[in-house]
């Protein structure tokens, strides 16, 4: 999927994460801030990158502010931000396909 | 918990009064420039948190003292960030009191500049300002001069200012306000500056971007404000500029003196006071006069407005004169003629 415009998903509330995505310059540029960085930073980063890979996003600038979100929440927020950024949210979301 | 986050329209006088009261209790002055406000209300519909937007900025944030530590600020900032993205602004700026700045650090904002004891200016991306500084074209040596102009439109007065700076310094960084703020489009202003400074080989032209006299740093340049607010905005703008100066080896800023525009005069006053403290000299050059009249872009706009462009022909370089006589300029001239007040306040 191609990121066409800036989009945001999620909130800054506890147990959530705010994912901001913008068109990139050919690579994934991730800026991550987390309240549990020391404990889970690596896992959060892996989850975000995996989700992007599954959605076939290869070029994007991401800013994630994590407030202790579970993996499933992170995945959902990243997916939602990507779909919003390519106007997929009013077309067909690939339930059972890339989203599983 | 049944707190409700809700938009507060300017017409909801009762809620707006609650916003005023909450801001006052938390020691925050309500900004005159606001185009969106939201609040969180408790069960009895009392306002317990609020925040506002103006263009691409977030401001006037407050949480009621007895509800601090409940994560209300996070909800307000999340909501306002979504509002900004809906407006198409992914680069968001925020003002806060110095003692609150660390809370916003936890919400993904990083500091750009501060005016000690008054305000901290932040943005929602890490290293955004650093990246802007890195992207600015550097001169081969330090000891440069800087000029900031709107050039609305470019006159012989602007030319004189740049020439003076270029004669005294090895290089001049010329920042052109890139915000669209009047009938003359930025692309045209930029082209007229380029043509106007032709022959001055030691001038580097930059777009000012969001960090110099933009509606984020200096809203009262674009909208009427009280003197106090203008001074506060100017101090912040200059604190940001001081960092740009440090990055580019700028030692002196040249400005034209300002006999007519109140806001620019106040800005110059604050600049003359604050810049030397940041290690940058501020040199105020008297305005150029031709045939006994002071050259000013607002006089030029007034003349175009009055349908008498020839009366200011002696204030303009050939390139600007040619543009206003061209077919391309017709819609712009029409827009200037339709303005109520072509002069800046």
Instruction: Give the CATH number, domain containing residue B142.
Output: 3.40.50.620
Q: B81 and A14 in contact by Cβ < 8 A? A: no
- Residue B105: exposure state from Cβ atoms within 10 A (0-12, 13-18, ≥19): middle
Of A5, A14, A65, the CB nearest to B71: A14
> In terms of residue numbers, what domain contains B23?
4-126
Q: Which of B108, B126, B144 is the last residue of a domain?
A: B126
Residues in chain A within 8 Å Cβ distance of B106: 35
Q: Where are the alpha helices (DSSP H) in A1-99?
A: 37-54, 71-85
Residue B240: closest CA among B110, B53, B112: B112
Residue B129: closest CA among B58, B55, B190, B217: B217
Q: What is the phi-psi region of residue B249: left when phi exceeds 0, alpha when psi lies from -120 to 50, beta otherwise? A: left
pLDDT grade, residue B224 (50/70/90)? low
ipTM of the complex: 0.85
Q: Is the pLDDT of residue A91 over 80?
A: no
Do the beta carbons of residue B320 and residue B154 sit within 8 Å? Answer: yes
Q: Into how many domains does chain B fold?
A: 2
Are B61 and B169 members of one domain? no
Residue of A nearest to B126 (CA): A31
Of A7, A13, A35, the CB nearest to B78: A13
Q: Which of B71, B78, B91 to mutate to test the interface with A (most CBs of A within 10 A)?
A: B78
List CB contacts of A57: < 8 A, sequence separation 6 or more: A1, A2, A3, A28, A82
Q: Is the pLDDT of residue B223 over 80?
A: no
Q: What is the mean pLDDT of residues B95-123?
A: 91
Pull the structure tokens for residue B180. Answer: 């669209």
Residue A72's pLDDT is 96
Q: A8 and B85 in contact by Cβ < 8 A? A: yes
Give the integer Cα–Cα distance in Å for B183 and B326.
16
For the stretch B2-29, pLDDT in tens is: 799 999 999 999 999 999 999 999 888 8
pLDDT grade, residue B345 (50/70/90)? very low
Residue B345 domain-assigned?
A: no
Pull the structure tokens for residue B242. Answer: 């001081």
Ramachandran angles phi, psi of B97, nearest 5°:
-75, 150
Peptide bond into B153 cis (omega under 30): yes
Pull the structure tokens for residue B195. Answer: 């043509």
Q: Is the pLDDT of residue B142 over 80?
A: yes
CA-based nearest distance B107→chain A, Å: 7
Residues in chain B within 8 Å Cβ distance of A67: 74
Residue B320 domain-assigned?
A: yes
Are B144 and B289 members of one domain? yes
Residue B229's pLDDT is 80
For domain A7-85, give its CATH number from 3.40.366.10, 3.60.15.10, 2.60.40.1250, 3.30.230.10. Answer: 3.30.230.10
Q: Is the pLDDT of residue B198 over 50?
A: yes
Residues in chain B within 8 Å Cβ distance of A69: none
Residue A32's pLDDT is 95
Are B293 and B180 members of one domain? yes
Interface of A with B in 59-88 (CB under 8 A): 63, 65, 67
B71 reaches A (C-beta below 8 A): yes
A20 reaches B (C-beta below 8 A): yes
Residue B27's pLDDT is 86
Residue of A nearest to B125 (CA): A63
Pull the structure tokens for residue B152. Answer: 């609305």
Pull the structure tokens for residue B2. Answer: 């049944």
Mean pLDDT of chain A: 92
Are B53 and B112 members of one domain? yes
Q: B125 and A35 in contact by Cβ < 8 A? A: no
């Amino acid at each position: 999927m191609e990121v066409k415009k800036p989009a945001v998903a999620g909130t800054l509330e506890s147990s959530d994460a705010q994912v901001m995505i913008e068109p990139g310059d050919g690579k994934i540029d991730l800026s991550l801030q987390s309240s549990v960085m020391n404990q889970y930073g690596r896992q959060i980063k892996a989850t975000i990158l995996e989700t992007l890979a599954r959605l076939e996003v290869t070029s994007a600038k991401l800013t994630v502010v994590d407030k202790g979100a579970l993996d499933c929440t992170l995945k959902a927020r990243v997916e939602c931000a990507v779909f919003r950024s390519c106007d997929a949210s009013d077309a067909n979301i690939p339930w059972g396909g890339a989203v599983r | 918990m049944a707190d409700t986050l809700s938009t507060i329209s300017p017409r909801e006088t009762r809620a707006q009064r609650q916003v005023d009261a909450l801001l006052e209790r938390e020691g925050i002055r309500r900004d005159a420039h606001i185009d969106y406000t939201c609040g969180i209300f408790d069960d009895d519909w009392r306002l317990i948190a609020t925040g506002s937007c103006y263009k691409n900025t977030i401001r006037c944030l407050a949480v009621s003292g007895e509800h601090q530590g409940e994560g209300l600020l996070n909800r307000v900032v999340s909501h306002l960030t979504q509002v900004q993205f809906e407006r198409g602004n992914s680069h968001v700026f925020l003002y806060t009191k110095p003692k609150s700045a660390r809370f916003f650090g936890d919400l993904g904002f990083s500091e750009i500049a501060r005016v000690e004891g008054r305000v901290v200016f932040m943005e929602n991306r890490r290293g955004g300002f650093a990246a802007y500084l890195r992207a600015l074209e550097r001169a081969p040596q330090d000891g440069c001069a800087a000029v900031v102009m709107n050039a609305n439109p470019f006159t012989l007065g602007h030319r004189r200012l740049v020439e003076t700076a270029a004669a005294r310094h090895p290089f001049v960084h010329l920042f052109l306000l890139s915000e669209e703020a009047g009938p003359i489009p930025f692309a045209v202003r930029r082209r007229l500056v380029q043509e106007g400074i032709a022959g001055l080989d030691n001038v580097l032209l930059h777009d000012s971007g969001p960090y110099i006299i933009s509606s984020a740093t200096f809203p009262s340049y674009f909208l009427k404000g009280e003197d106090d607010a203008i001074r506060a905005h100017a101090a912040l703008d200059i604190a940001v500029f001081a960092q740009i100066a440090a990055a580019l080896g700028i030692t002196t800023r040249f400005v034209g003196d300002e006999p007519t525009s109140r806001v620019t005069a106040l800005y110059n006053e604050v600049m003359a006071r604050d810049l030397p403290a940041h290690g940058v000299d501020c040199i105020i050059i008297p305005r150029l006069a031709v045939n006994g009249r002071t050259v000013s872009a607002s006089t030029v706009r007034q003349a175009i407005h009055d349908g008498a462009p020839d009366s200011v022909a002696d204030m303009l370089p050939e390139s600007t004169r040619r543009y206003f006589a061209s077919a391309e300029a017709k819609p712009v001239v029409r827009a200037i003629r339709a303005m109520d007040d072509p002069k800046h306040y």
